[in-house]
Amino acid sequence: MTLAPPFTPAGPVPDDALLVLYANGDPGAARELAGRLVPRITGYAARLLGGDRAEAEDVAQEAMLRLWRMAPDWRQGEAQVATWLYRVVANLCTDRLRRRARRPAVTLDEAPEVADPGPAVLAGMIAAERAAALEVALLALPERQRQAVVLRHIEGLTNPEIAAVMAVGIEAVESLTARGKRALAAALAGQRATLGYDGDDGDDG
């Protein structure tokens, strides 16, 4: 076993340092930061909005615009850029979902193609169908539960990180995710057979 050198090479530039570089006029910093953050917040927005890609992209663009505008005032070390962005995205999605409330709600019955997958369906298609069914089930959850579950189990954040995003304690995060998962399990229970995970599920898990 070798000892680590006294001066380890610098890792990737942290997000908040990139943000400061951007504010100071570094032309490549914005591109680098966007490459890191936009895929994450687009996915998060899509999960919160029930899979609406176009709307998720609008939210991601708006959230990034707010980040660019506040970059000159960003205080390094006080908050994680990603944490701040997840919170902005959640707020933007909440606004859109409230506006959307006038429209008819999406129900589990509207999950695309889950009722008739066919015997020769590809693994990728099964994954897509599972993801679609999960999106519909997520949309039926209370908003805070949905945020906590998506951040924990899809975005892969830790409970302390989620607590920072949602501005609640860690116990509250644990409670929200536990309740959310129970509701999801109940909602998805009827789709065991149609989603092809009875028996041979090790292919894409």
Partner 1 sequence: MTDDNDLDLFFAAARATRPAPTDALMARVVADAEAARAPRGRVPSAPAAPRWRARLATFFGTGGAFAGLAAASVAGFWIGAVQPDLLGSVWQSEAASVDLFPSLDGLLADVSE
Task: List contacts with partner 1 (CB under 8 A).
Answer: 22-23, 25, 30-31, 34-35, 38-39, 42-43, 46-47, 51, 53, 56-57, 60-61, 64-65, 68-69, 71-72, 126-128, 130-131, 133-135, 137, 153-154, 156, 181, 184-186, 188-189, 192, 197, 201, 204-205
Which residue, 12 or 27, has its beta carbon nearer to partner 1? 27
- In angstroms, the CA 41 to CA 131 distance is 17
Q: Find the shortest distance in angstroms from Cβ 200 to partner 1.
A: 11
Q: How many CB atoms lie within 10 A of CB 125?
A: 14
Q: Which is nearer to partner 1, 95 or 201 (CB)?
A: 201
Query: Shortest gap between Cβ of 66 and partner 1 (angstroms)?
Result: 10
Rounded CA separation 85/60 (Å) = 9
Q: At its nearest, how many Å lie between partner 1 and the CB of residue 178?
A: 11
3-state helix, strand, coil in the chain (%, to 5): 65, 0, 35
Which of 102, 186, 101, 189 lies closest to 145 in space, CA to CA? 186
**H/E segment holding residue 165:** helix 159-166
User: Cβ 51 to partner 1, closest distance in Å?
Assistant: 8
Residue 100 C-beta: closest distance to partner 1, Å: 18
Residue closest to 150 by CA, chosen among 137, 201, 65, 62: 137
Is the Cβ of residue 9 or residue 202 nearer to partner 1 in the bound state?
Answer: 202
